[in-house]
Each structure stands twice: as C-alpha cells, then as structure tokens.
Amino acid sequence: MNLKGWMERDGVLLSPADVERMLKDGPEAIAPCGGEFLLVWDDCIARDAFGVMPGPVPPGTVCCGGREVARIAPDPSPCTLEEAIVTAVGLRSDEGVVAFSGGVDSGLIAGLAHLPCVTVGLHGSHDIAWAEKAARMMGLDLTIVSPAEDEVAEAIRRVVRVIPDPTNPVEASIATTLSFVAAWAEEHGHTRILAGQGADELFGGYARYLTSPDLAAELERDFADLKRQGTRDQAVAALHGAYFSTPYLDARVVRAAQAIPARERVRGGVRKHPLRVVAERHIPAEIARAEKKAMQYGSGIWRTIQRLARQNGYKKSVQGYLTEISRAEHGN
C-alpha cells in the first residue's frame, strides 16, 4: 500500500496502519474518509473527494481493476462553521507552510496553524507591506519572497507548460505567483502548503457579489469552478514536489458554509461576513476585517508580466506574449 497525502475519519487522522486495517473490509470501507490523498494498493486506486491530490482516476473515486467500485464521500459529524474551520486547519497543521497574504482567508489559517508563513511580492508591493504588518501583529514566522524580473519570466515559462489554459492572462499570473510559494516550500523541505483557496467562492469574497442580481446562483457557479482552479494550482505545486492543502474546501467547512443563506454571506456591504465573524475570535480584528487585492495584483506579479510583454513587443496584449511563450514551450 502506498499513501500519498493524508486521510482522516470524522476528525481523526489515520495512520497508514489504520488505513490498511480498514482495507481488510474491502475498498468500500474508505468511502467515508476525508483528507487529501492518493491511495494505491493491489490493483486499486483511491483519490480524495475534491481531487486535491493529482492522480490517474477521477476525484472522489475508488477504482479497482480499472473500474469504479466506490465513491469517496466524507460525512463528518455536523458542527458549527467555527468548529469546522478549526478542525479542518488542525488536521492539516502537523507539517507544512502557510501561503500568507495577510488577508482574512490566510490570516485565519495562519493564526490557527502556527506554521511558518511565506508571502510573495515585489519590493514595495501591497502584499509585502500588509503581510509584514499582519505578521508582526500575530507574531508569525514570515518569509518574504521577492522575485526579480528575470525570475518572473522564467517562472512564466515553467507554468505555461503545465496549466490548463496557459494563454489566459489571469490564469497565468495566478499560477506564476503560486509557483514562487511552491518553489520556496520545496527549497525548505515542505510538501504541504496551506492556502485560502475556496474562501471567496464559499463566503462571497469578490467585489462583484455586492451587486449580483442572483447571489446564490453566482456563488454556486463559482464554487463549481473551483475544481478547474484546483487543477491549475496543483499542477504548479507539483513542479516542486508539493501540493496546496485547502482547509476551506474541507467537507465539514463546505457543508457549514453552504448552510448559510447567500444574503448572510454578503451582508450590509461586507463580503465574507460569516468568515470574518469567526476570524475575529482568533486573530486581530484589523486583519479579520481587511479588504485585499487578488494575489496576482497585490504581489506586483501582474505588473511585471505586463512589463515583460511590452519589452517583448506586445504593448497591448499580455495574451499575445503568453501565446508566444506557450508555443515555444510546447514546440509549436
């Protein structure tokens, strides 16, 4: 048996020996297990429900002899949103690093996990200034990664080889930013990177939600898109032998968040209202209430990519620049 990642059952971490004992009752025995894993034994493969861990079978399936024999469907005990988040972060905090921007999403994770934190940002960027301030307030162990322009150019070339939509400027800029987090993790011996992905889609973090004509439908649509985003992020992490661990996509957190009406998630002009309420009980209120730019903008990576595009003759088209790189990297 080979277990990549980790597994749990109703909030209790499972050792490899625990998993082996469960498998004696047949592959269906692991169906209720949560975690972020790829499990291989005999002629069977099982993959976690959300597909965090890459593998050759669809997310949330147990396949034996090339056919699906069971579905991974974690069913943890009902709990409050706060209990869900505390449990989800706790299960992931025995090792790793936190991708930290100083906003409420990563701030709450960092405050609960007590792990080293890393922030990516160019000198003078919004994310560096805010992350340093937040880290001082919270007493965090923070490392700043400030890539040079040539390092950003090289990172773009690496990520366009593996992400699903390499010529999309938003996708490529997010992937490039994340690649520096994953590279730092690899350099310092970490494979697990705790990250705040999913919080915006679950709790209503995007500015457009403030004026949405059908907030519930938009939240549902955006949540469904997270699997596509996850494929991008995990492909980038895999370049450095790591993976992004996502506490907000834990089954118990998703269940608790989706039980909250959409109008309560974005309330009185405040986005992610339920998450901020929980966060204020664990981290400084200033961080819990902070509004943040998206990572590719706050870090300064997007501006650097725009500058590189202009330097390469694409004065108005970052997409044209990315298309040229993608063709070169894929040999087209």
Last residue of a domain, which of 71, 97, 115?
71
What's the confidence (pLDDT) of residue 118?
97
CB-neighbour burial class of residue 275 (10 A; exposed 0-12, middle 13-18, buried 19+): buried
Q: Does one domain contain both 115 and 200?
A: yes
Query: Could you read off the pLDDT of 298-318 as tens digits, one per residue?
Result: 888 999 999 999 999 998 889
Residues of 130-167 as b/e, b for ≥16 C-beta within 10 angstroms? bbbebbeebebebebbbbeeebbbebbebbbebbebbb
User: Residue 328 — very low, low, confident or very high, per pLDDT cuts 50/70/90?
Assistant: confident
Q: Does one domain contain both 171 and 24?
A: no
User: Residue 3 — very low, low, confident or very high, per pLDDT cuts 50/70/90?
Assistant: very high
Q: Does one domain contain both 132 and 246?
A: yes
Last residue of a domain, which of 23, 50, 71?
71
Q: Does one domain contain both 17 and 127?
A: no
Residue range(s) defining the domain that contains residue 66: 2-71
- Its pTM stands at 0.94
The verdict on residue 326 lying in a domain is no
The verdict on residue 324 lying in a domain is no
For residue 67, pLDDT over 80 is answered with: yes
Mean pLDDT of 142-167: 94
Q: Does one domain contain both 146 and 110?
A: yes
For residue 331, pLDDT over 80 is answered with: no
Higher pLDDT, 26 or 295: 26
Q: Does one domain contain both 47 and 195?
A: no
Q: What's the structural domain count of the chain?
A: 2
The verdict on residue 327 lying in a domain is no
What's the confidence (pLDDT) of residue 332?
63
For residue 113, pLDDT over 90 is answered with: yes
For residue 226, pLDDT over 90 is answered with: yes
Mean pLDDT of 140-165: 95
| H-helix segments, the chain | 16-23, 81-91, 104-113, 126-138, 149-159, 169-187, 199-203, 215-224, 226-238, 251-258, 262-265, 273-279, 285-288, 295-298, 301-311, 318-329
Q: Does one domain contain both 157 and 225?
A: yes
- Listed residue (188, 139, 291) closest to 180, CA to CA: 188
Instruction: Give the chain's mean pLDDT.
Output: 94
Q: Does one domain contain both 119 and 195?
A: yes
What's the confidence (pLDDT) of residue 316?
81
For residue 74, pLDDT over 90 is answered with: yes
